């Protein structure tokens, strides 16, 4: 009976050693007699006790690795500290185990040397403005180098860049000066736009005022022209009526001449400096002069008598 119990215990131990359950997103690297045998995927796996051995359990998930902050010298001889994180995933578990002693250490050292090489070719200002470019260069270099290790580099991110304290103070002062400069420029631009707007408003007001004055002058001139035309029409009508009346009355030449003189007298009372006398009126004036001379001679004769 004790012998059977011992045999049963041995069988249970062998069964326990033979059955392996691999979790999801993991693989087992199994060696047989010290040599790589197979990669056991997720699920139930049977191995031979005392012959097969699980060398390593490899995760197929995407993993992250923080690269310790490194002091790096830029092209313009400024020492800065860069903190980096690497995202990677194992694509070939056998290579990740057998091609390199320690995969994480290999990625870490490779990232450090690559960062120093890239940053050493850049100025300080470029390191702050070219993070995406640095991340992309790091990813390409690390991905090519780790491909033979059965590893794929998905992303590389620079978490922080810390310059020395004196450089940081100088950069802050420069940023403050730049902000003040932009503020002054914006204020000057606002004042310029305000002056332009005011000048434009004055210009438009002057144009409108000139147009209004022009319109008033035009309307005033039109009114005066209409008034002159109305007066001229009335005078013409009056002259026509007088002419018609005189024509019907069949006046003598002397009466016409007297009426012309009366008309000249009315014209002379006007405000004009010059008066144009029609040729017909000069005949009447000549007749008046002759009459005056006759009357004068008669008066002299009467005085002698």
> pLDDT tens, 257-279?
666 556 555 555 555 444 444 54
How high is the pLDDT of residue 57?
92
How high is the pLDDT of residue 279?
46
pLDDT at 90 over 90: yes
For the ranges 64-78, 208-222, 284-298, the lowest mean pLDDT is seen at 284-298
pLDDT at 87 over 90: yes
Q: Which CATH class is domain 63-163?
A: alpha beta
How high is the pLDDT of residue 106?
92
Mean pLDDT over all residues of the chain? 79
Beta bridge partners of 27: 58
pLDDT at 283 over 60: no
How high is the pLDDT of residue 264?
54
How high is the pLDDT of residue 86?
94
pLDDT at 48 over 50: yes
pLDDT at 51 over 70: yes
How high is the pLDDT of residue 151?
93
pLDDT at 170 over 90: no
pLDDT at 166 over 50: yes
Between 64 and 2, the more confident residue is 64
Between 172 and 272, the more confident residue is 172
For the ranges 91-95, 263-267, 281-285, the lowest mean pLDDT is seen at 281-285
Between 11 and 119, the more confident residue is 119
How high is the pLDDT of residue 273?
47
What integer is the mean pLDDT of 41-46? 88
How high is the pLDDT of residue 238?
66
How high is the pLDDT of residue 168?
72
What integer is the mean pLDDT of 68-86? 89
pLDDT at 302 over 80: no
Of 131-145, 169-183, 199-213, give the range with the top mean pLDDT.
131-145
What percent of the chain is modeled with pLDDT above 90?
22
pLDDT at 44 over 50: yes
Q: Where are the domains of the chain?
A: 11-59, 63-163, 251-305
How high is the pLDDT of residue 274?
47
How high is the pLDDT of residue 76?
85
């Amino acid at each position: 009976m004790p012998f059977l119990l011992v045999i049963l215990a041995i069988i249970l131990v062998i069964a326990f050693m033979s059955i392996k359950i691999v979790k999801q997103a993991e693989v087992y690297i199994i060696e047989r007699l010290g040599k790589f045998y197979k990669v056991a995927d997720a699920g139930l796996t049977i191995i031979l006790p005392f012959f097969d051995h699980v060398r390593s359990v490899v995760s197929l998930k995407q993993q992250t690795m923080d690269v310790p902050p490194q002091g790096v010298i830029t092209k313009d001889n400024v020492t800065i500290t860069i903190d980096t994180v690497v995202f990677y995933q194992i694509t070939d578990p056998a290579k990740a185990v057998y091609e390199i002693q320690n995969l994480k250490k290999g990625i870490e050292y490779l990232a450090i040397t690559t960062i120093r090489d890239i940053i050493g070719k850049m100025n300080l200002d470029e390191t702050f403005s070219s993070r995406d470019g640095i991340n992309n260069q790091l990813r390409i270099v690390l991905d090519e180098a780790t491909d033979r290790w059965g590893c794929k580099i998905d992303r590389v991110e620079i978490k922080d860049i810390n310059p020395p304290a004196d450089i940081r103070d100088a950069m802050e002062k420069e940023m403050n000066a730049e902000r003040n400069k932009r503020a002054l420029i914006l204020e000057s631009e606002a004042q310029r736009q305000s002056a332009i707007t005011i000048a434009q408003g004055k210009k438009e007001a002057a144009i409108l005022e000139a147009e209004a004055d022009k319109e008033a002058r035009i309307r005033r001139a039109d009114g005066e022209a209409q008034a002159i035309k109305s007066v001229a029409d009335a005078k013409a009508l009056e002259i026509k009526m007088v002419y018609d009346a005189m024509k019907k009355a069949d006046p003598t030449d002397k009466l016409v001449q007297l009426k012309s003189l009366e008309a000249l007298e009315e014209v002379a009372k006007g405000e004009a400096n010059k008066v144009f006398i029609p040729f017909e009126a000069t005949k009447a004036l000549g007749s008046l002069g002759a009459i005056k001379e006759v009357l004068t001679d008669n008066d002299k004769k009467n005085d002698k008598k």
